[in-house]
């Protein structure tokens, strides 16, 4: 560069650019800049000479390029050196004031001690009063029950993947719990049952969140105070403590999430030595934690997306590294993205939720009526059958005595799709033009064939499946389906044409394997299930309609599952053995559909995503009255509002640092290091917060306050990094060198004391209180109900 600078000097400025002694003669007053001559421009753009560049004089340093694109050599600043003998002092710009260095880093020996302190405080805060209260709290009624199902090998349906519940069951089994407690409702006392082992397992993983976050911030910022501030925020947050002390999926999910983030950050630090032992270790651990997060809840997909975006960024950097071959880049990509996210449930006994799955899936469950089934193979008139919709979680064709309410089509008997096995799912197949009883032993068996017109009579109510041109309850332009008639006697709107997919007229209809559609003779519409959930008057079952759009979809296809006909011989149908991949795919698809269709229960407190960062409303974990043992899930208000302010502060600092670097502002090495931490380390954490928070605004399912806690982990880490950076900026700009460390230490200590004092005020919400409510002056929470929406 020095050779280029010398050759690029124009003739008029050569005297002021010269490295050697200035010739006598013209004044050294700065002259106007002129464009370089063509030959100089050509020499400036020519290839560099092969010999090494000359080293500039010790007193010279490079300045930023001038307006015309020239790079000048700046003379020594005043007080930093003297001009050579005989050379007049030149006019020069004043050198920037050297800022004091940021507070010195703590000695290396302090890091193990700090980590030990973090671990001690984290475990102490989570295990304190773990056995209290000795009764079922909030969602323990679900996840404790599901742990019991795993211990007993009983199949069940849930909207979440199985890994978290399997681990809860394993913890209960290893701690001596026998899986016999019913977990019927919140408030049921555990009595002699050993529940502490399952709570202890969740508390252990919840305690690990703090050191994982500590190590992540330490790796990103290389600052022990930033890591400690993050740790104190999570240790003394009442919400994180409450969520970690009960039998829930959240601490398990957040453990794998934080493990994935730490592994990703550690793997990034090994980028300069790919395929080394440490690189392989952190790469593999990243994959394991990603699989664990996805195996607990589907929102684990957000951390997979975070790691994927980080991978794309790293791959883009690697692509520009010409020292690596494309084979190496492809290998890196393959090993980063190859972890298989799958888990297998070791369940084989039927239980609640069988009806959510297909007939083939149910045939693999011991105790289910389809396991090792022996039924009549072909459907005949007089057969008692159940019909299952072929869409995922489509349910059984169902009816009951209840009528459609006023204003919802015709006030006739409801027909729905029901996801559970029930006597109201049974229908009798009859001829459309005959009232004879086909079950009469004297009447010969007559099979139902493709293209026949039939009547379906509901076995329990003796009313016929019926449709007409009244509009369906929920789906516009679809027709209403009802049950109509008395003792099987109705009208012509009870007639349906039965057709088998892919079969010719006159062919028999096989049970389980035959896919059939029912076409209404009078209107030409097809019987189907929309999948929409009816209101409470429809018992929140699925809507059944008759669609005039004759498009063949799983919604309009059915199969006969149960089949009872004493006149026909039973045969074994060993044809329903799905592969492992089919079972895995179906179970996950049904879980996803169930998750998106969740609706709030009666009197249940739900929330909206904008409520969460401001700590607008909490959740009752236990107790309502003064005599109850009350636990209330609410974040430490000081911490949560500090996190919220920090997000705005971080954006301001990031924009300022990015603009300064882009404009080429001269920064000291300390400021450059801080800017890199804010932009690179803080940017990764900010992206994690956005990915774990913004998607909830687009979800149609019911949402709760605890859904924000994964995002809260990222906002807490961002707070540690941002305030550490801000305090260092203040120490450099506002204080002389002698007091920089005092300013930084005072700011850090003030934040820590504020966090600890706020925990002292609000800790009864986590550990439980009995006595007056917050409105009573004698209550330990008196004066602390800062928002009317808080219900303690």
How far apart CA 685 and CA 403 sit, in angstroms, is 55
**328 and 208 part of one domain:** yes
Contacts for 146 with CB less than 8 Å, ≥ 6 apart: 156, 158, 165, 168, 169
Assign 272 a pLDDT band (cuts: 50, 70, 90).
confident
Which helix (H) or strand (E) is 121 found in, with range?
helix 110-127
Mapped onto helix, strand or coil, the DSSP state of residue 150 is helix
Judgement on whether residues 421 and 523 belong to the same structural domain of the protein: yes
- Quick one: 325 and 470 in the same domain? no
Is residue 787 in a domain?
no
422 belongs to a structural domain? yes
Same domain as 295, residue 170: yes
Point out the domain boundary residue: 557, 575, 593: 575
- Partners of 397 in beta bridges: 417
CA–CA dist 110, 116 (Å, integer): 10
User: Total structural domains in the chain?
Assistant: 3
Does the residue 39 lie in any domain?
yes
C-alpha distances out from residue 465 to 72, 116, 117, 439, 510, Å: 92, 70, 70, 20, 21
Q: What is the pLDDT of residues 324-383, one digit of tens each?
A: 555 555 555 544 444 433 333 344 444 566 666 777 777 667 666 666 677 888 999 999
- 332 in a structural domain: yes
Residue 234 has pLDDT above 50, yes or no: yes
Say yes or no: 165 and 231 in one domain. yes
Is residue 385 situated within a structural domain? yes
Choose the final residue of a domain: 55, 78, 101.
Answer: 78
How far apart CA 709 and CA 306 sit, in angstroms, is: 16
Could you read off the pLDDT of 300-316 as tens digits, one per residue? Answer: 999 999 998 988 887 77
Residue 197 neighbours by CB under 8 Å, 6+ apart: 171, 172, 174, 175, 176, 177
Final residue before a domain boundary, out of 530, 545, 575 = 575
Burial class (CB in 10 A: 0-12, 13-18, 19+), 445: middle
State whether 211 and 319 are in the same domain: yes
What 3-state DSSP class applies to 459?
coil
Copy the structure tokens of residue 319. Answer: 């692509």
In a domain, 348, yes or no: no
In-domain check, residue 208:
yes
Sole residue written with tokens 């305090």: 727
DSSP states of 474-495 as a string?
A: SSTTSEEEEEE-BTTB--GGG-
pLDDT (0 to 100) of residue 38 = 40
Burial class of 709 by CB neighbour count within 10 A (0 to 12, 13 to 18, 19+): buried
List pLDDT tens digits, range 695-749.
999 887 788 999 999 999 999 999 999 999 999 988 887 766 667 888 888 999 9
Give the residue numbers spanning the domain of 72.
Answer: 1-78
pTM of the model: 0.72
**CATH number of residue 432's parent domain:** 2.80.10.50
Q: Are residues 157 and 268 in the same domain?
A: yes
Residues 686 and 753 reside in one and the same domain:
yes
The verdict on 331 and 392 lying in the same domain is no
Task: Please indicate, yes or no, whether residues 567 and 657 belong to a single structural domain of this protein.
Answer: no
Q: Tell me the torsion sign for CA atoms 496, 501, 507, 512.
A: negative
Q: Given pLDDT bands bounded at 50, 70 and 90, which one contains residue 14?
A: very low
pLDDT in tens, 140-167: 999 999 999 999 988 887 888 889 999 9
pLDDT at 465 over 70: yes
Distances (CA, A) of 603 to 158, 484, 598, 599, 620: 22, 35, 15, 12, 12
């Amino acid at each position: 560069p020095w050779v280029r600078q010398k050759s690029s000097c124009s003739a008029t400025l050569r005297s002021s650019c010269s490295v050697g002694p200035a010739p006598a003669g013209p004044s050294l007053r700065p002259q106007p800049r002129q464009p370089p001559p063509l030959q100089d421009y050509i020499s400036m753009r020519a290839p560099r000479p092969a010999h090494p560049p000359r080293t500039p004089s010790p007193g010279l340093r490079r300045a930023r390029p001038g307006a015309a694109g020239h790079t000048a050599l700046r003379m020594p600043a005043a007080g930093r050196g003297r001009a050579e003998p005989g050379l007049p002092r030149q006019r020069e710009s004043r050198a920037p004031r050297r800022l004091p260095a940021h507070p010195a880093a703590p000695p290396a020996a302090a890091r193990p001690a700090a980590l030990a302190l973090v671990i001690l405080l984290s475990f102490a805060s989570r295990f304190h009063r773990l056995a209290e209260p000795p009764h079922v709290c909030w969602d323990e009624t679900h996840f404790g029950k599901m742990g019991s199902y795993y211990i007993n090998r009983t199949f069940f349906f849930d909207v979440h993947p199985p890994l978290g519940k399997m681990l809860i069951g394993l913890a209960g089994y290893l701690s001596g719990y026998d899986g016999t407690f019913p977990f019927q409702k919140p408030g049921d006392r555990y009595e002699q049952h050993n529940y502490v082992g399952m709570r202890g397992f969740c508390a252990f993983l919840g305690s690990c969140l703090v050191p994982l976050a500590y190590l992540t911030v330490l790796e990103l910022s290389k600052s022990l105070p930033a890591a400690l501030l993050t740790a104190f925020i999570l240790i003394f947050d009442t919400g994180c403590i409450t969520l970690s002390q009960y039998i829930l999926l959240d601490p398990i999910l957040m453990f794998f999430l934080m493990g994935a983030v730490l592994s990703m950050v550690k793997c990034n630090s090994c980028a300069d030595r790919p395929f080394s032992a440490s690189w392989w270790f952190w790469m593999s651990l990243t994959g394991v934690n990603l699989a664990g997060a996805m195996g607990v809840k589907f929102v684990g997909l957000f951390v997979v997306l975070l790691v994927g975006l980080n991978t794309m960024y790293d791959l883009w950097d690697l692509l520009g590294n010409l020292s690596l071959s494309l084979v190496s880049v492809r290998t890196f990509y393959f090993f980063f993205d190859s972890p298989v996210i799958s888990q297998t449930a070791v369940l084989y006994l039927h239980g609640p939720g069988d009806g959510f799955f297909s007939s083939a899936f149910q045939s693999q469950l011991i105790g289910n009526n389809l396991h090792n089934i022996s039924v009549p193979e072909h459907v005949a008139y007089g057969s008692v059958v159940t019909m299952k919709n072929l869409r995922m979680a489509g349910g059984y064709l169902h009816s009951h005595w209840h009528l459609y309410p006023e204003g919802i089509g015709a006030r006739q008997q409801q027909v729905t799709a029901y996801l559970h096995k029930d006597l109201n799912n049974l229908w009798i197949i009859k001829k459309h033009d005959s009232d004879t009883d086909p079950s009469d032993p004297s009447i010969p068996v007559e099979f139902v064939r493709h293209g026949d017109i039939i009547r379906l009579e509901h076995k329990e109510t003796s009313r016929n499946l019926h449709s007409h041109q009244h509009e369906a309850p929920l789906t516009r332009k679809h027709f209403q389906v009802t049950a109509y008639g008395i003792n099987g006697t109705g009208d012509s709107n009870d007639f349906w044409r039965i057709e088998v997919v892919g079969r010719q007229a006159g062919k028999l209809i096989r049970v389980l394997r035959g896919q059939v559609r029912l076409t209404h003779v009078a209107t030409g519409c097809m019987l189907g299930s929309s999948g929409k959930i009816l209101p409470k008057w429809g018992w929140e079952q699925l809507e059944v309609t008759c669609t005039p759009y004759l498009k063949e979809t799983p919604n309009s296809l059915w199969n006969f599952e149960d089949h009872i006909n004493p006149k026909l011989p039973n045969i074994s149908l060993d044809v329903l053995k799905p592969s492992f991949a089919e079972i895995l795919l179906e179970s996950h698809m049904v879980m996803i559909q169930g998750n998106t269709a969740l609706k709030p229960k009666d009197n249940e407190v739900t929330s909206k995503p904008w409520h969460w960062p401001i700590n607008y409303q909490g959740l009752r974990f236990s107790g309502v009255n003064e005599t109850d043992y009350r636990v209330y899930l609410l974040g430490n208000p000081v911490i949560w509002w500090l996190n919220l302010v920090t997000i705005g502060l971080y954006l301001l600092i990031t924009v300022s640092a990015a603009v300064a670097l882009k404009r080429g502002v001269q920064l000291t090495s300390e400021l450059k290091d801080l800017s890199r931490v804010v932009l690179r380390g803080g940017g990764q954490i900010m992206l994690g917060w956005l990915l774990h928070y913004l998607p909830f605004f687009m979800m149609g399912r019911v949402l709760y306050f605890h859904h924000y806690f994964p995002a809260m982990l990222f906002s807490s880490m961002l707070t540690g990094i941002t305030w550490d950076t801000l305090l260092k900026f203040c120490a450099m700009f506002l204080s002389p060198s002698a007091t920089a460390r005092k300013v930084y230490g005072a700011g850090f200590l003030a934040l820590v004391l504020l966090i600890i004092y706020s925990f002292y005020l609000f800790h009864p919400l986590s550990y439980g209180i009995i006595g007056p409510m917050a409105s009573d002056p004698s209550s330990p929470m008196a004066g602390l109900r800062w928002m009317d929406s808080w219900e303690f």
